[in-house]
Amino acid sequence: MDLSDRLNDQAERVKDAYDQHARPLLPLWVGDSLRVQDADSKLWDNQGVIVSVGASRDYRIKMQSDRVYWRNRRFLRLVYPPLAVAADPTDPSPAVDTDREKPVPPPPDHLSDQRRRRHVKFDLPPRHSTRKRNPKGPHDA
């Protein structure tokens, strides 16, 4: 086995070890709106639209500032559009609860008294080490 065979074998083993827990990211398409991770701050605060897709999972993104960047899939997150809900003022929204529940009664008095009786003792002396400290130099003497 020569050196190039050993290097190829090692590269395959490294790839297999990495691929055990790695999973592929979903592909993105031209026109998808997405967030881009800032290289310096690592925040996902930039937003753009995919203009073109490269051959090896790299994407050309037009940002809101009209700049165009190439980014790998790893630094891109798809922005899902908000759910479209037909607003009809006569139709009550299913998210609004029309059946009002009775208010929850307060806890019984004997439980609240037990909670109030907890007392923390602040009159204890401060805890200090009893170790005798030796001076370390002429300034400590």
Please report the pLDDT score of residue 81 as a whole number. Answer: 74
| All residues at 6 or more sequence positions from 39 whose CB lies less than 8 Å from its CB, including other chains | 75
pLDDT tens-digit series, residues 74-102: 999 998 876 666 555 565 555 444 555 55
Q: 66 - beta bridge partners?
A: none
Rg (CA), the chain: 32
Q: For residues 13 and 18, give the distance between their C-alpha atoms in angstroms, rounded to a whole number.
A: 9
Q: For 18-77, what is each residue's pLDDT tens digit?
A: 888 888 888 899 999 999 999 899 999 999 999 999 888 889 999 999 999 999 999 999
- The answer to whether residues 31 and 50 touch, using CB atoms and an 8 Å cutoff, is yes
Per-residue pLDDT, averaged over 106-113, amounts to 55
According to CATH, the topology of domain 28-81 is: SH3 type barrels. (2.30.30)
In the prediction, which pLDDT does 23 show? 84
**Whether pLDDT at 129 is above 60:** yes
Residues 68/74, Cβ–Cβ less than 8 Å = no
Tokens of 125: 């002396």
Which pLDDT belongs to residue 49? 94
Q: Which residue ranges make up each domain of the chain? A: 28-81
Which residue has better confidence, 73 or 133? 73
Structure tokens at 32: 């998808």
Torsion of CA 110, 114, 117, 118, to 10 degrees: -170
pLDDT of residue 104: 57
